Structure 1
Amino acid sequence: MKTDTRLSAMLHLLLHMAGRQDPVTSEELARYMHGNPAAVRRTMAGLRGAGIVRSGKGHGGGWTLGRPLAEITLADVHAALGAPGLFAIGSRNAQPTCLVEQAVNASMQETLGEAERLVQARLRSVTLASIDADFRARMAQHPNAPKEPRHV
């Protein structure tokens, strides 16, 4: 099963945007991810709908943050992406007739439900400001850190 990397990718892009005063184009954001500008626009549209980013058209247009990093949680970004599933595992058969498989499903559902509640709570507790602080601490410890690390 393929891993959904959109949350990680969007967090990466949002933190690159945080260091900028000017709007960032989809083309530039795509270069950060070695990806496609159209895919960036499609994905960022959900974030725009949630007020996480804003967009401007034309000369000087592009993407900017819609609110401060301290007001954006990982849960906000996850929800803006359509709340993709957190786990790639699940029941083999949703409506089994076999009593053994019913017991397996019940145990799996309980376990995954508990794990999902824990992950969701953690996503709600982590802000982009805390990730940015970690990034800045890492940069301060890097002996050859570029003066402006957020640019390609």
Structure 2
Amino acid sequence: MKRDSRLSSVLHALLHMAEHDGPMTSEALGQCLGANPVVVRRTMGLLREAGLVSAERGHAGGWRISADLKTVNLRQLHAALGEPAIFAIGNRNETPECLVEQAVNAALDKAFLEAEALLLDRFADVTLADLAADFARRHAERRATRE
């Protein structure tokens, strides 16, 4: 099963946008992400619907963060993306006749729900400002080692 990397891509794009003065085009964001601008527009459209980014038309237009980095957390972004599946693993059959498979599903479902709840709680604790600060620290360290 293919992994859904949209959350990672959105975080990457938003951090580029946070460092950039002015709006960024879908083409520029696509270059940063190694993605097609159409995919960028589709994904940014979901964030616009959630009130996290805005789009400006025209020659100097593009996407701009419209929310405070300190208040936007990973859980909100996950929700804005339609709450994609957290895990790529699952039950072999969702409605089995076999009692053994029913017992297996019950155990797996409970574990998946508990793990997902923990992860989503952790997502709620991490803001875009946290990620931007980590990026700034890493960037400063890299600059210092090159000098």
Normalised TM-score (structure 1): 0.92
Partner of 2:44: 44
Amino acid at match of 1:20: H
Count of residues paired in the alignment: 145
Normalised TM-score (structure 2): 0.96
1:57 aligns to 2:51 (yes or no): no
Q: CA deviation at 1:10?
A: 0.5
Alignment of 1:1-20 (within 5 A): 1-20=1-20
Where structure 2 has 5 or more consecutive residues not aligned to the other structure, the ranges are none
Alignment deviations for residues 37-72 of structure 1 (CA, whole Å, 9 cap, x no partner): 111001110000001100011121100001111111
- Aligned mates of 1:144, 1:32 — CA distance in 2: 23
Q: CA deviation at 1:19?
A: 1.1
Secondary structure of 1:64's aligned partner: strand
Alignment of 1:14-93 (within 5 A): 14-93=14-93
Q: CA deviation at 1:21?
A: 2.4
Partner of 1:96: 96
Secondary structure of 2:146's aligned partner: coil
Q: Percent of counterpart pairs with the same letter? A: 50
Secondary structure of 2:35's aligned partner: coil
How large is the Cα RMSD of the aligned pairs? Answer: 1.0
- Aligned mates of 2:88, 2:33 — CA distance in 1: 23
Where structure 1 has 5 or more consecutive residues not aligned to the other structure, the ranges are 146-152
Alignment of 1:114-125 (within 5 A): 114-125=114-125
Q: CA deviation at 1:141?
A: 1.0
Structure 1 stretches of 4+ with a deviation exceeding 2 A read none
Secondary structure of 1:86's aligned partner: coil
